[in-house]
A = this chain, B = another copy of it.
Amino acid sequence: MEEKMKEINSMLVEIYDDINHIEEYTIKQGAFNDISITEIHTIEAVGMYGSKTMSEIAQALDITMGTLTTAVDKLIKKGYMERSRSNTDRRIVNVSLTKRGKLAYRIHEKFHMDMVRAIMKDFTPEEEEILLQGLRKLNQHLKDIYTPGK
């Protein structure tokens, strides 16, 4: 039992580190080598469809709006997203992805999907189901011990 726990822990730590490195590396090698992981995640948070407000994005990323403002400035300059003031409430700024932003989104999404595919490889449907349930439980458990912003 103790042994298995240690293995799971070191798996988690290794996976955590590797994902970081690989995500970084993949971006640097790819077609969009002028953006960082952090920036990809900002693009991810804006989302493929329609637009999001600054507040929504900042909340999703769990960063302050000040941080987000500068991040969005740079991503606009690089051609990945655009800003527009809401017509109904001029305080609100809507951010949406450009063509280039959407392409970057899709490529990053593929990276993630390939990762999941690798996990599922050789799993029977039952195993798949069990894994999913396990992850749901783990996720819920983590949410229980800590809820962001609280």
Contacts of A131 in B (CB 8 A): 8, 130-131, 134-135
- Majority DSSP secondary structure for residues of A touching B: helix
Q: How far is the CA of A117 from the CA of B18 in the complex (A)?
A: 22
Residues of A in contact with B (beta carbons under 8 Å apart): 4-9, 11-19, 21-22, 25-26, 62, 112-113, 115-123, 126-128, 130-139, 141-143, 145-146, 148
**CB atoms of A21 and B119 under 8 A apart:** no
Which B residue sits closest to A112, measured CB to CB?
B9
Closest-CB distance, A75 to chain B (whole angstroms)? 20
**CB atoms of B132 and A145 under 8 A apart:** no
**CB atoms of A16 and B14 under 8 A apart:** no
